[in-house]
Amino acid sequence: MHYYDDHTIVALATPIGPSAISIIRISGKDSISIINNIFFSIKIGKNLEDQSTHTIHLGYIRDVINDNNTTNTNLDKVLVSIFKSPFSYTGENMIEISCHGSYYIQQQILNLLIRKGMRLAHPGEFTFRAFMNKKLDLSQAEAISDLISSGNKTLHDISFQQVKGSISNYIKNLRKKLLHLSSLLEVELDFYEENMISCKKSEICDILLGLKCSFKKLVESFSLGNAIKSGIYVVIIGETNVGKSTIFNKIIQEERSIISPIEGTTRDFIEGSIVINGILFRFLDTAGIRNTNDYIENIGIEKTLIKVEESQVILYILDSTIKKIQQKKIVNDIQNLHIKYPDKTIFSIANKSDISSFKDFYNIESKVSYFFEISANNYNGIQKILNTLGKVFIEKLKSKKTVITQSRHYEVFKHSLKEISLAYKAFNKGFSEEIISIHIKQVLHYLGKITGEITSEEILNNIFSKFCIGK
């Protein structure tokens, strides 16, 4: 449980275990005074409480046994960094002790600090205090968690922009428009009986429509943001023996899928990951789709169809050497995929092009989004596919002003979009300004949940419990 009190808290900010250095983090009003009693500078007589903020000092941490300071033990030679309130991460007095990375030293210093009156920090409590002291809002705190766990450049870049306030600033602009709209509606109410129209109806309509569009884009961006956060799933499908497993192995540069001329070799999906243009892609090799009486193979085919539904990208592999009448069916199948999954990125890949060409048949290039002719034995063709895949998602990111990565934000924006849509519909149907204002106030309430202006203990516990102890 997270609760705000005036205890001085301490935690190891670096992983437990042997390392070159470890950092012990401390926050609270008594941070500097407590450390001052156990820190002995190499410069005799130095008092930490008299030092400026953002300064570093070399000396010894000593476990003082008695009040006369005559019997003591040097635990380690350390660097002590001072950050004075309010110019610190938490907004409180803070100390960071850089000591040697011995597990014994770490524990001895932590135990000493606890004996001196500190308590161990809860997960995320340093960031929690930063939030409570208005050093950052709740969306920035969540972005810090994403930044710490970011496993690729793209998620790092998105998280870093959110830490700097991209979501917060976007919400500020939305709130500004909502408050302006509320004031226009209030004026309409005030002067209604006098039949004095203080603003054009078209202005209210334009603002509502603009807000509806903004919230719609935010909601739609979540599918991309969530995919980038957890990895973009790319499912490789096609009939049996078209080269799916060979292509999968070439993509992940590892012989993970069994390759055999026997149909139905792949019975379950196999996963492998690579990073393209700073984005994590998770590739799934799947069972070949065909009619079969094999019970186990049918289970694999059912799993393939489930993975198609869950994926963001489909690589449809076809065989360039098949007969013309079969090619017509394949082209129809691919077109049906585009119709069924308009929001998915679909690559049509004709394998075995070193034996026969496919693209001249039925003008396939004009009927699909992305078409490639390759030979799985030649990596150049596969590299071209991967380069295109990376570019597609980079362009998708560039087209989004703001990308939502948190499911909590998604739910809030989804509810906000619903309220704005109802307000827009009510306005067009001629409902009173009072009804429209109710919807607008509800949206303002929702936005406050993202930044933390409106929150609950349950939400705070859920967010900060996901942090590591030292953050």
Q: Which domains does the chain have, with CATH numbers?
A: 9-137 (3.30.1360.120), 148-226+404-452 (1.20.120.430), 233-374 (3.40.50.300)
pLDDT at 202: 80
Q: Are strands 345-351 and 370-373 parallel, antiparallel or unpaired?
A: parallel
Q: 3-state DSSP call for residue 270?
A: strand
Q: Are strands 72-83 and 94-101 parallel, antiparallel or unpaired?
A: antiparallel
User: Which two tokens mark 12?
Assistant: 């190891």
Q: 3-state DSSP call for residue 305?
A: helix
Q: Are strands 370-373 and 279-285 parallel, antiparallel or unpaired?
A: unpaired
Alpha helices, H only, 321-367: 324-340
Nearest to 211 by CA among 462, 424, 454: 424
Bridge-partner residues for 237, per DSSP? 316
Torsion of CA 385, 391, 393, 399, to 10 degrees: -150
pLDDT at 358: 62
User: Which two tokens mark 43?
Assistant: 């410069």
pLDDT at 366: 61
pLDDT by residue for the chain (471 residues), tens digit each?
A: 555 678 999 999 998 878 899 999 999 999 999 999 999 999 988 999 999 999 999 999 998 765 555 557 889 999 999 999 999 999 999 999 999 999 999 999 999 999 999 999 998 899 999 998 999 988 888 888 888 877 778 888 888 888 888 889 999 999 999 988 888 887 655 555 444 454 567 888 899 999 999 999 999 989 888 888 888 999 988 877 788 888 888 888 876 454 545 444 454 568 888 888 888 899 988 765 545 555 455 555 566 667 778 889 999 888 877 777 677 777 888 888 888 888 889 898 888 877 776 655 556 666 677 888 888 888 888 899 999 999 998 888 888 778 888 889 999 999 999 999 999 999 888 888 888 889 999 999 999 888 888 776 767 777 777 777 777
pLDDT at 183: 82
pLDDT at 4: 65
Max CA separation in the chain (angstroms): 97
Q: What is d(CA 463, CA 86) in angstroms, rounded to the nearest whole number?
A: 24
Tokens 């603002």 correspond to: 207
Bridge-partner residues for 41, per DSSP? 59
Model confidence, pTM? 0.76
Q: 3-state DSSP call for residue 51?
A: coil
Q: How far is CA 213 from CA 363, 412, 426, in A?
A: 37, 15, 17
pLDDT at 195: 46
Angle at which helix 433-451 crosses helix 166-190, to 10 degrees, equals 160
Amino acid at 332: N
CB 389 within 8 A of CB 313: yes
Q: How far is CA 416 from CA 95, 420, 421, 450, in A?
A: 42, 6, 8, 11
